[in-house]
Amino acid sequence: MKAVAAIGGPYDFGECWPQLPSLTRETFVHYSGARDEKEGQAKATQLSLAGILSKVRVPLLVVFGKQDRLIPYRQAERVATEAPNATLVMYPEGNHACNNIPYKYRPLVGDWMAEQLRDAG
C-alpha cells in the first residue's frame, strides 16, 4: 500500500453512536448482523482506530466536512493528529463524506493520490 485517503469516516464509531439518527443506527444493526440495537452498539464500539493510527506509515489524506451531522468533525482531527503522515482537509461547508461538494473533494483526492503514487515510484 502506497497511500490512503479517508473521506468522512470516524475515529471511534462507538463514540458517535448516541447522536446517530435512529435510521442510521437501525441500518448499522441490520448490516452488522446484530440482533438488536444493544448488540449493534457493542459492535460499533469495536470500530475504533485507537492504537492503530501510529502504525500507519504511508501518507494519509483525511477529508472531512465540518457540517457532518453523523460523525463529529473532531473525529477527523483525531485521525489526523494520531497518524504520523496525515494531512487533514476540512471543508467548512461539507456535510457527511462531503457528499454535497463532490466537485471539490474528488479532484483533490484524485490529484493527491496520483502524486503519492508517482512519488512512491
Mean pLDDT of 69-95: 98
Expressed as residue numbers, the domain containing 9 is: 4-120
Return the pLDDT at 69.
96
Mean pLDDT of 10-27: 98
- How far, in Å, are 80, 110, 117 from residue 3 at the CA level? 14, 12, 7
According to DSSP, residue 51 is labeled T
CATH value at residue 103: 3.40.50.1820
pTM of the complete model beyond 0.85: yes
Q: Which pLDDT band, with edges at 50, 70 and 90, does 65 fall under? A: very high
Return the pLDDT at 43.
99
Return the pLDDT at 31.
98
- pLDDT(120) > 90: no
Return the pLDDT at 27.
98
Domain count, the chain: 1
**Cβ–Cβ under 8 Å, residues 76 and 106:** no
